[in-house]
Amino acid sequence: MSGFSLKGRKALVTGSGRGIGRAVAESLIACGARVAINDIDDVRAERCASELGESAIAVPGDVSNSSEVARIFEAMAESFGPIDVLVNNAGADRAIPLLEIDEAEWDRLMTINVKSVFLCTKAALPAMIEKGYGRVVSVSSMVARQGAMNGGIHYASSKAAILGFTRTLARQFAYAGITANAVAPGVIDTDLIAENMTADVRAKIVSLIPLKSMGDAIDVGAAVAFLSSEESRYITGTVLDINGGFWIG
């Protein structure tokens, strides 16, 4: 990871108080970036930023709310300067059957998982366009490709929407030196997995993974660091699968 060039770059990672988001923040800092740690939980964001040291600041808030997004970007700019790298990681899941998903639950997940990507990307673009440089990396999921085995259909739908957003963003803003890519993690051993998967389901899924293990959050962090770096300058509109061979396509 230390071979990727992010020295002097300023990054915002949404939902980075724990899990994959925190691993992404750690990876970016290891490559030389300064990182704004966002989480909807103020205490978690502050604790994470404190633990990651001088290269991190806390910018807590709800990234699915436009006024809070504006405040988050203003706080980051005051501390670090204009953004170079945006990692859209904030998300939620509920493993419930389609017939048990009501309209409110559908809207809730789409707001957290998709609207946040739209709002944060829109907020980041002016500074990136002015610089003629930017990296936008959004965290999708393997289920956007193959459909959900255990998660909700609204989760799979929201993660598929991120892929369409990313590809269109890549086409429309390449002129400004901005790249847009996504990562599609498979089964990553995080708190979210622990909350939504029984031991029996876990064992069954691991048996289906060619590499015979779940991934670690750092596996995603390393991939995002690459897509955020100078070394990825000629990669845009792509989806990087991180799933141990679970889905190959």
d(CA 142, CA 199): 20
1 pLDDT higher than 60: no
Q: How many domains does the chain contain in total?
A: 1
| Cβ–Cβ < 8 Å for 214, 189 | yes
- Going through the chain in order, the beta strands assigned E by DSSP cover 10-13, 34-37, 56-58, 85-88, 134-139, 178-185, 239-242
Give 134's strand partners. Answer: 178
Residue 202 lies in a domain: no
Over residues 167-215, the pLDDT tens digits come to 999 999 999 999 999 999 999 998 777 777 788 988 998 999 999 999 9
pLDDT of residue 3: 67
Over residues 86-134, the pLDDT tens digits come to 999 999 988 899 999 999 999 999 999 999 999 999 999 999 999 999 9
Domain that holds residue 115: 10-189+216-241
Over residues 127-141, the pLDDT tens digits come to 999 999 999 999 999
Residue 28 lies in a domain: yes
144 pLDDT higher than 60: yes
Residue 1 lies in a domain: no
Domain with 103 in it: what CATH number?
Answer: 3.40.50.720
Q: What is the mean pLDDT of the chain?
A: 95
Q: Which residue has the higher pLDDT, 200 or 150?
A: 200
**Which of 133, 155, 175, 234 is an active site residue?**
155
Residue 201 lies in a domain: no
* pLDDT band per the 50, 70, 90 thresholds, residue 67: very high
For this structure, is 155 an active site residue?
yes
Residue 223 lies in a domain: yes
pTM (global) more than 0.85: yes
Residue 145 lies in a domain: yes
CA gyration radius, the chain: 17
Residue 226 lies in a domain: yes
**Cα torsion angle, 37, 111, 81, 184, sign:** positive
Residue 204 lies in a domain: no
- Report, as an integer, the average pLDDT of 48-67: 98
218 pLDDT higher than 50: yes
pLDDT of residue 2: 53
